[in-house]
Amino acid sequence: MGGAVNLNTGQEGLRQVLGELEAEIMECMWERGTASVRDIHECLAERREIAYTTVMTVMGRLAEKGLLSRSQQGRAYLYSPAETRDSFCTGVVRSVVEGLFGGVNRPVLAHFVEHLSEEEGADLDLLAAIIDEKRRERRSSLPSA
């Protein structure tokens, strides 16, 4: 996911970085893999009342943003996610972290860890496990002397 990420912290999950409808469409796309506007309209119609043209417009915008790929098949387009849900979420997290911690220094990291330890010990344990795993990966990828 390139570019700036705008967070809406009043929302949960994908809705923090995508609009409500965009997030719903992407969830339907990740469930289906490849789909037409009609397929996604049917998916959304199970949850809400929505116009076909609205779905078509938003899917076109998602393609312009690079979140969906599209190919013409006859008179219609077939869409597919440009990346997996996990890959998309990883890109969002990377972008947010780089934005928050770009040029990070020791006091910023210390504050981050202090906040984690105050809030939830399990989060601190998870962070330590992730750091240990990353260190093992780096050691194993170093050339042998």
Q: pLDDT tens digit string along 30-58?
A: 999 999 999 999 999 988 899 999 999 99
Q: What is the mean pLDDT of residues 18-23?
A: 86
Nearest residue to 74 via CA among 43, 50, 40, 38: 38
User: Is the overall model pTM greater than 0.75, yes or no?
Assistant: no
Task: Pick the more confident residue, 144 or 42.
Answer: 42
Task: Pick the more confident residue, 34 or 144.
Answer: 34
3-class DSSP state for residue 10? coil
Q: What is the mean pLDDT of residues 6-31?
A: 76
3-class DSSP state for residue 145? coil
Helix residue ranges, H only, the chain: 20-32, 37-45, 52-64, 85-101, 106-119, 121-141
pLDDT for residue 93: 76
Q: What is the mean pLDDT of residues 82-102?
A: 79
Q: What is the mean pLDDT of residues 15-41?
A: 89
Kindly state the tokens that stand for 83. 């990346």
| Topology (CATH level 3) of domain 1-103 | Arc Repressor Mutant, subunit A (1.10.10)
